[in-house]
Amino acid sequence: MGYLYPNLKVDIKLRPKLLYNAERRAVWRKLHIGKSTNEIAKPLNVSVGLIEQVLTTHSYLIPLRGRIRLYKKQCHYKRILSDYIESHPDCIRNDIRKDLPAAYLWLYKNNSHLLYELLPPEIPRELKRNCIKKP
């Protein structure tokens, strides 16, 4: 299925501008599980705009994909924080805040309850270094 350009004698393989039903269904499935439009477009050899057209025809997918991305990011930062705490068992909250600022801040802004569940217990005020009163 090629078209021979008359002057240059170059064989150009044309692709239909619309997706076939089977491809459209496959694109929908991949969009539904949260794959990025670039990841979907590359193996099908189509433009990202065509994939986004399929996405806009199913308007309920847009907020769903937002929640999926949020959940994936939360799991990513949770894993980073858990690995750090596991490898540094005697660390304090301030060490985590200084060493992992992106993970700490993202979890603080988006899911502070999860952050405080993951963090080590708070040091009592009497035992903090800065609170020792001098005579």
| 37-60 pLDDT per residue, tens | 999 999 988 889 889 988 988 999
Can you tell me the distance from the alpha carbon of 110 to that of 114, in angstroms, rounded to the nearest whole number? 9
* 45 conformational bin, left if phi > 0, alpha if psi -120 to 50, beta if neither: left
**Are 124 and 69 in the same domain?**
yes
In this prediction the pTM is: 0.71
Range of the structural domain that residue 39 is part of: 2-58
Mean pLDDT for the chain overall:
85
DSSP codes joined into one string, 62-81? HHHHHHHHHHHHHHHHHHHH
Tokens of 117: 């569940």
Regarding whether 53 and 68 lie in a shared domain, the answer is no
- Of 58, 75, 101, which residue sits at a domain end? 58
Same domain as 42, residue 16: yes
Q: Are residues 72 and 54 in the same domain?
A: no
Same domain, 84 and 33: no
Q: Is there a single domain that holds both residue 103 and residue 125?
A: yes
